[in-house]
Structure 1
Amino acid sequence: MHRRRTAIALSAALAAAPLLTACGSTAHPGAAAVVGGQRITVAQLEDRVNEVRTAQRAAATNDAQYAQTLARTGSLTRDTLHSLVLDRVLRRAAKDAGVSVTRRDVQEMRASLEQQAGGAKALRSAWLDQYGVAPQRVDDSLRTEIEAQKLAAALGADMNTTDGKAMFWKAMSQASKELHVDLNPRYGTWDVQKSSRVDAKTPWVKEVTAATTQQQTA
Structure 2
Amino acid sequence: MHRRRRTALLLSAAIAAAPLLTACGNDAHPGAAAVVGDQRITVSQLENRVNEVREAQRAAVSDEAQYAQSVARTGSLTRDTLHGMVLDRVLHQAAEDAGVTVSRKEIQSMRSGLEQQAGGAEALETVWLQEYGVPPQRLEENLRLQLEAQKLAAKLGTDTSQPEFWQALSEASKKLDIDLNPRYGTWDVQKSSRVDAKTPWVREVTAAGSQETA
Deviations 1:97-125 (A, max 9, x none): 00000000000000000000000000001
Please report the TM-score for the alignment, with normalisation by the length of structure 1. Answer: 0.82
Are 2:82 and 1:81 aligned? yes
Higher share in helix:
1
Which residue number corresponds to residue 171 of structure 1? 168
Q: Distance in 1 between matches of 2:185 and 2:143?
A: 27
When the two chains are superposed, the root-mean-square deviation of aligned CA atoms in Å is: 1.9
Contact kept, 8 Å, 2:26 with 2:180, in 1: the verdict is no
The 5 A counterparts of 1:133-212 are 133-159=134-160, 165-192=162-189, 195-199=192-196
Corresponding letter in the other structure for 1:94: A
Q: C-alpha displacement at 1:13, in angstroms? A: 2.9
Contact kept, 8 Å, 1:11 with 1:83, in 2: the verdict is no
Q: Secondary structure at the match of 2:44?
A: helix
Where structure 1 has 5 or more consecutive residues not aligned to the other structure, the ranges are: 200-218
Count of paired positions:
191
Contact kept, 8 Å, 2:61 with 2:67, in 1: the verdict is yes
Deviations 1:151-197 (A, max 9, x none): 0011111446xxxx111011011000100001000001024566532
Corresponding letter in the other structure for 1:58: A
Which residue number corresponds to residue 20 of structure 1? 22
Q: Secondary structure at the match of 1:74?
A: coil
Contact kept, 8 Å, 1:100 with 1:147, in 2: the verdict is yes
Distance 1:5 1:179, change over 3 A: farther
Q: Which structure is higher in RCO with an 8 Å CA cutoff and minimum separation 6?
A: 2
Identity %: 65
Q: Distance in 2 between matches of 1:113 and 1:79?
A: 24
Contact kept, 8 Å, 1:106 with 1:139, in 2: the verdict is yes
Which residue number corresponds to residue 130 of structure 2? 129
Contact kept, 8 Å, 1:21 with 1:190, in 2: the verdict is yes
After the TM superposition, which parts of structure 1 deviate over 6 Å for at least 4 consecutive aligned residues?
Answer: none
Which residue number corresponds to residue 94 of structure 1? 95
Q: Distance in 2 between matches of 1:99 and 1:117?
A: 28
Q: Distance in 1 between matches of 2:187 and 2:37?
A: 17
